[in-house]
A and B are shown apart, each in its own frame.
Chain A
């Protein structure tokens, strides 16, 4: 944002004395407010696609980190918190009719033919914990099925990216950038899931609460964004 010229005008107008100084101060405040609005709008709404499309000519210098940062706290975390559907409900509906379940509880990007994706939450007892693998998982039983909760650091799949209706392939130039967005989301999900969690307490028999994203692919596998132990207040 070229700040110099914008501030030059009120500075010039302020040469005439106290009322003018007051007016110019007011002007500066207004200009700052406009700038702030532009900046916020710029980060959250407009440039997601613009930033991604700037380098059509050849070498994409897409910043997936920035793309995700603009959305993580403001939209992604609230979406997972507020829109998550009980995982048992989703699995039962999927067993009945995947397309009906998808239309009712899930999301499927228009640009592909991939499986339906769902934002889910649950509360279950840990049946098995695989914490030695870099692809660490907690297995829980939901509606008679084993569900793998991925807590990273390596997360498989693109369920989180694909479950968010405000992120689409059309916003980026190519599949590498789209994949970078997924990787960035998965890294943040893993970090968020593990924040404040004592991994040593994740043993079979412990009850945990979780929220995250999963696809309709079988067996069910959840990219965990929020993980809570009893009394941890998370």
Chain B
């Protein structure tokens, strides 16, 4: 698996945090903390990059950190953010329940939190929770999956990390559609923890048990790509593979015919929205929006894949 360029992008994101700031913008060089999940996934690199770029544009300095999906690490980082007297926190959190206390701690220290990508299971703690409509996105992917398979097929589902709310949300979204088709038969359902290499080995073993599989629907793109690679290696390139996220790697796989579709989470837009709302909140005391905001996902197939780059679909 080619993860080297991802590590490079991650390093870039972290370096960007220390860049200079135009003093004239309204942020006046105040510090905004940006904490995202594991930077070995380009998705989270994009969260950090988009939020960071918007913060710079608005005249803030930034502190970009990764919680690596580890609630304990996130907790230490929140302490750090409080000690550094950040004026706001943009957070892609490390667990819907585990992160409640961390956000409450920031709030108590006077740091408003703007959550992106993942919800926490409590309202009234964060100022904003802006998330992709994962469920809507999953139903789009499942609708395309069913269409590509002619409403009748034997398929396998690869699920994300069970502790992450989005793994369950997407799986429910998939099944909301798939289970309405009596001729869609699920042969197996396994978690590959969002990870490409894990999806590859899981797919290899699934193929041993079910050489007749016709479709694979995965909870994210990295797992879809891992499954696709295993299928290609086994000479089963005709199996329909659908992922979710809208990464550049998945886009290329769709264009090459190795994946049927992915679903774009407009995460760059979400991260930018969060930063804009943080800025407005700091200036006026209100974002002007409800706390919970959903941003719709977009289906990506061969017809529009070429317009996709860095989680943004060109008009």
Contact = CB atoms under 8 A, between A and B. Distances in A.
Nearest to A172: B292
B289 A179 contact: no
Interface in A119-139: 133-135
Interface in A57-116: 57-58, 110-115
B293 interface: yes
A111 B97 contact: no
B173 interface: yes
Interface string B100-133: 0000000000000000000101110000000101
Nearest to A170: B290
B294 A179 contact: no
B78 to A, nearest CB: 22
Given A114-B296, A169-B290, A174 B177 contact: no
Contacts of A156: 139, 143
B134 A134 contact: no
Contacts of B313: none
A170 B173 CA distance: 20
Nearest to B273: A113
A218 interface: no
B293 A176 contact: no
B172 interface: yes
Nearest to B296: A114
Given A111-B290, A179-B173, A56 B133 contact: no
Interface residues on A, range: 20 to 34
Contacts of B135: 175-176, 178-179
B169 A176 contact: yes
A169 B172 contact: no
Interface string A153-181: 11010100000000001100111101100
B151 A169 contact: no
A153 B180 contact: yes
Contacts of B169: 174-176
B122 A134 contact: no
Contacts of A110: 289-290
Contacts of B97: 58
Contacts of A158: 136
Interface in B133-188: 133-136, 139, 143, 151, 165, 168-169, 172-173, 176-177, 180-181
B292 A169 contact: yes
User: Helix, strand, loop or mixed for chain B's interface?
Assistant: mixed
Most buried by B among A57, A135, A175: A175
Contacts of A57: 121
B290 A154 contact: no
Nearest to B120: A174
A175 B166 CA distance: 10
Nearest to B134: A175
Given A56-B123, A175-B119, A112 B293 contact: yes
B295 interface: yes
Contacts of A173: 121, 123
A112 B133 contact: yes
A174 B293 contact: no
A29 B75 CA distance: 59
A134 B181 contact: yes
Contacts of A133: 151
Given A56-B123, A176-B135, A170 B181 contact: no
A13 B165 CA distance: 56
A158 B176 CA distance: 13
Contacts of B294: 111-112, 114, 169, 175, 178
A176 B172 contact: yes
B119 A174 contact: yes
Given A156-B143, A158-B136, A174-B119, A111 B296 contact: no
Interface in A191-209: none
Interface of B: 97, 119, 121-123, 131, 133-136, 139, 143, 151, 165, 168-169, 172-173, 176-177, 180-181, 269, 289-290, 292-296
23 contacts: A56-B122, A57-B121, A58-B97, A58-B121, A110-B289, A110-B290, A112-B133, A113-B295, A114-B294, A135-B143, A154-B181, A169-B292, A170-B292, A174-B165, A175-B131, A175-B133, A175-B134, A175-B294, A178-B294, A179-B135, A179-B172, A179-B173, A183-B176
Task: Give 9 closest A-B pairs by Cβ, nearest first.
Answer: A179-B135, A112-B294, A154-B180, A114-B296, A111-B290, A175-B135, A111-B293, A113-B295, A134-B181
Interface of A: 56-58, 110-115, 133-135, 153-154, 156, 158, 169-170, 173-176, 178-179, 183
Given A112-B294, A113-B293, A173-B123, 19 more contacts: A58-B121, A110-B290, A112-B293, A114-B294, A115-B296, A133-B151, A134-B151, A134-B180, A154-B177, A169-B290, A169-B292, A174-B119, A174-B169, A176-B169, A179-B135, A179-B136, A179-B172, A179-B173, A183-B176
